[in-house]
């Protein structure tokens, strides 16, 4: 798996990373009053954002990059759990907003949804590039004339 990865720069992935980052910032600021929608959807998007950041600089298959992005989310959640267990406090407000302050199993669910969403979007993009209809598209049994 490691041998299949190589360094590269992908401008399209960078554009998506910037767009998702702007959306995450908007959710954290303008959407601050949206409660669980902001936090849950933000965690889903965070996995997608980490994925496209990885994809910007690493050429690899979708699954390893998506798993790495999901792993980053799990590590953040583990860090939150350990910080609360050891009564540690992040003094920087912006870093507290980005990393979160409390561990929550719903965050793990959101990260998993983000992981599945990345796989689904990449699969759809791959099918579109290949010019094939989606697997769920009905196929005609009548030959074309």
Q: pLDDT means per 10 residues in the chain (145 residues)?
A: 80 98 91 84 96 97 97 93 84 75 89 98 95 60 53
Query: How much is the pLDDT for 10?
Result: 96
Beta bridge partners of 58: 7
Query: How much is the pLDDT for 137?
Result: 54
Query: How much is the pLDDT for 18?
Result: 98
Burial 45-81 (b: 16+ CB within 10 A, else e): bbbbbbbbbbbbebebebeebbeebbebbeebbeebe
- Residue 49 and residue 18: Cα distance in Å, rounded? 9
Closest CA to 65 of 139, 107, 2: 2
């Amino acid at each position: 798996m490691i041998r299949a990865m190589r360094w590269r720069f992908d401008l399209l992935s960078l554009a998506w990373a910037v767009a998702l980052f702007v959306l995450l910032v908007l959710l954290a600021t303008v959407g601050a009053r949206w409660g669980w929608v902001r936090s849950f959807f933000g965690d889903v998007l965070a996995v997608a954002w980490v994925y496209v950041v990885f994809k910007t600089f690493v050429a690899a298959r979708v699954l390893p990059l998506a798993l790495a992005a999901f792993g980053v989310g799990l590590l953040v959640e583990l860090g939150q759990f350990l910080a609360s267990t050891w009564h540690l406090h992040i003094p920087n407000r912006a870093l507290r907003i980005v990393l979160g302050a409390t561990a929550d199993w719903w965050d793990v669910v959101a990260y998993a949804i983000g992981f599945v969403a990345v796989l689904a979007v990449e699969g759809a993009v791959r099918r579109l590039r290949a010019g094939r209809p989606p697997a769920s598209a009905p196929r005609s049994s009548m030959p074309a004339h």
